[in-house]
Chain A
Amino acid sequence: MTAKESAPGKEAAGASKKDHGVLYVGIDLGTSRTSIAASNGVRETVASVVGYPKDVVSQKLLQRDALFGDEAIENRLALRYYRPLEKGVIKGSDGKVLPKEEADANLKAARDLLRHAISLAQPRPDELVYGVVGAPAQASIQNQKMLVEAANEVLDAVMICSEPFAVAYGLEWLDDVLVIDIGAGTVDLCRMHGTMPDEGDQITLPTAGDWVDEQIEGLLRERCGGAQFTRQMVKNVKEKHSTVRDGGASIVVEFPVRGKPTSFDVTESVREGCRRIVPPIVESLGELVASFDPEFQERLRNRVLLAGGGSQIGGLDRAIEEAMRERLGGGRVIRIEEPVYGGANGALKIAHDMPPDFWQKLV
């Protein structure tokens, strides 16, 4: 800080003016989770749901204008409840015509969610907040505009960038990289080379986390006669025990049978359900490799990054490698260190690296 900046008069004015510093934030506004990483060391994640009290009674009871994440999920019966994102973009921005009222409500929910995420980063009121928000690689211009609109109000300056690019940039893998991002609704595969990814560099699959839940649920319905359970319970079991590995401890859970808690060994169903995610991914990897410059195909095959909440399935990186070996003659897969924060960390790095004069033109 220069002597001029710390002059007492200026300091006093600093309480309301934003001249104290600059807080960078990287945000991954995901369909299922929104995560933020900030240059004050804070990292937070919240389920992408927003709820507003339905009526005055609920409002009194909850003592808040809006609830987010798990808190909103717990109180959803008392709330007008929104999941403002779908397939990674704000609902109503993907060309599907929603009634205007509903589209507006979604945009508001998305904006409130962004604002909440930023508040989780605990910015000082006297600091500028510059943010980079990751958008799915396949997001249309219209989608991106909606994101910018939502973010403009809550950040001092904002840029949108492609989510897989952010993941790769965050790890300094700039060239010839294949990013697999396994979310709740979609698996996004993206080939990165030289320029920004374009249409032909991307494949989006519906066989993602939610689909795996569905698979496991189907298997359990066949195999655990009389057990009562919901999709959410299956998801919880998956997130706790997911694996594609052979061997290992058995997975035993309790489901009620006619109201009575009963133990079930669900090892096989969980493993089988999780394994089903592999073939479509490897199929798409094959397509992206095959349509790449032959000279660099081998390099690309050996630089596969696995990210997103769904990449936490135990042994998934090795399982994909194995399948690649069979189908593509080899390959190397690296699961990123922090699957949940991969996008946010990368977006933060982009925000930091962005030259000052670029930011200047956007504030």
Chain B
Amino acid sequence: MDGSIVERLRALLAGSTRTHSVRDLQRRGVTRIPVLGRDQLAALVEEAVAATLRDRGLLDERGEVAAEAMERAKGLLREVGRLEAEREASRRAGAEIERRVDELRREVFLAEGRLREAKVRARSDAPSPPTTVRGRIRELFAANASNAPGGIESIAAELETLLSEEVSRAVARARTEASREIEDLDRRVGRLRGALEKAESDLAARGQPAPPGIASIYRTVQGLDARERDFSRKRKLLERIFEANVRLQKETV
């Protein structure tokens, strides 16, 4: 055990002992007193402290601070290190999930846009039913069939049936194609939404504080992609909007 502790015990004892004269004691009728030397006392205290340490497994038989205790302390340090690394990894994983949430959100957003456009296209692309076919055919025949007046009506009716069958087949084909595309997109949006929900709940389950606001799917200013449909036409329209706004801003300031 550390020698300085024994020293300090001695000093402590020296400071806290009282002295009584023998005559004084005699007057009080004390004839015998048990004597315990200061050194003895210090030894006893030392012994008690060592026993306690030993009980707690911190001191080996030779009175050294136990190697085991050292090990345990080192182990604890290692544990702290490990936990810190884990926390860092978890933070990184959290950021990764957050990134994934952003990414999914972007995909959902884009897929929904495509879905909207496809739905509109599906309705606008389907050819109109031939309401005026009969009239056109009648015109046609009237123009160059003056010699067969009775037959025109029946020929026209027949042709119309034929044509309208053809058209409705074409309409049906266009519809199936469009609806297949819509179904695909619908499914895709559904799947993405599912994935997004899961990722968002993962993020929430990590107990990470909700980010302040919802991040845009864009990190930088975008602008029309040159590969887009009708690029130059759109670009021209955007330019016109921009110019009008520059004028507006000038007048507002």
A residues in contact (CB < 8 Å) with B: 1, 20-24, 38-42, 121-125, 127, 130, 141, 144-145, 148-149, 152, 158-161, 165, 169, 171-172, 174-175, 195-196, 302-303, 330, 332, 334, 336-338, 345, 350, 352-356, 358-362
**A40-B120 in contact given A123-B213, A148-B252, A174-B233 (Cβ < 8 Å):** no
Q: Tell me if B109 and A172 are in contact (CB < 8 A).
A: no
Q: Tell me if B124 and A174 are in contact (CB < 8 A).
A: no
User: Shortest distance in angstroms between B90's beta carbon and chain A's nearest beta carbon?
Assistant: 19
B residues in contact (CB < 8 Å) with A: 105-106, 108-109, 116-117, 119-120, 123-124, 128, 131, 211-224, 229-230, 233-235, 237-242, 244-246, 248-249, 251-252
In whole angstroms, what is the CA distance A99 to B106 when docked?
47
Q: Tell me if B214 and A122 are in contact (CB < 8 A).
A: yes
Q: Tell me if A124 and B105 are in contact (CB < 8 A).
A: no
Given contacts A23-B216, A148-B252, A175-B233, 8 further A-B contacts (CB under 8 A): A22-B216, A22-B219, A24-B218, A40-B216, A171-B116, A330-B131, A336-B120, A356-B221
Residues from chain A with a CB closer than 8 A to the CB of B124 are 303, 332, 334
- A-B pairs, top 9 by smallest CB distance, nearest first, are A124-B213, A23-B216, A356-B221, A353-B224, A355-B223, A40-B214, A159-B245, A358-B242, A122-B214
Q: Tell me if A41 and B234 are in contact (CB < 8 A).
A: no
In whole angstroms, what is the CA distance A21 to B213 when docked?
12
Q: Tell me if A1 and B238 are in contact (CB < 8 A).
A: no
In whole angstroms, what is the CA distance A41 to B240 when docked?
27
User: Shortest distance in angstroms between A352's beta carbon and chain B's nearest beta carbon?
Assistant: 5
User: Shortest distance in angstroms between B89's beta carbon and chain A's nearest beta carbon?
Assistant: 18
Q: Tell me if B117 and A39 are in contact (CB < 8 A).
A: no
Q: Tell me if B235 and A355 are in contact (CB < 8 A).
A: yes
Residues from chain A with a CB closer than 8 A to the CB of B238 are 350, 353-355, 358
User: Shortest distance in angstroms between A76's beta carbon and chain B's nearest beta carbon?
Assistant: 30
Q: Tell me if A171 and B117 are in contact (CB < 8 A).
A: yes
In whole angstroms, what is the CA distance A292 to B106 when docked?
41
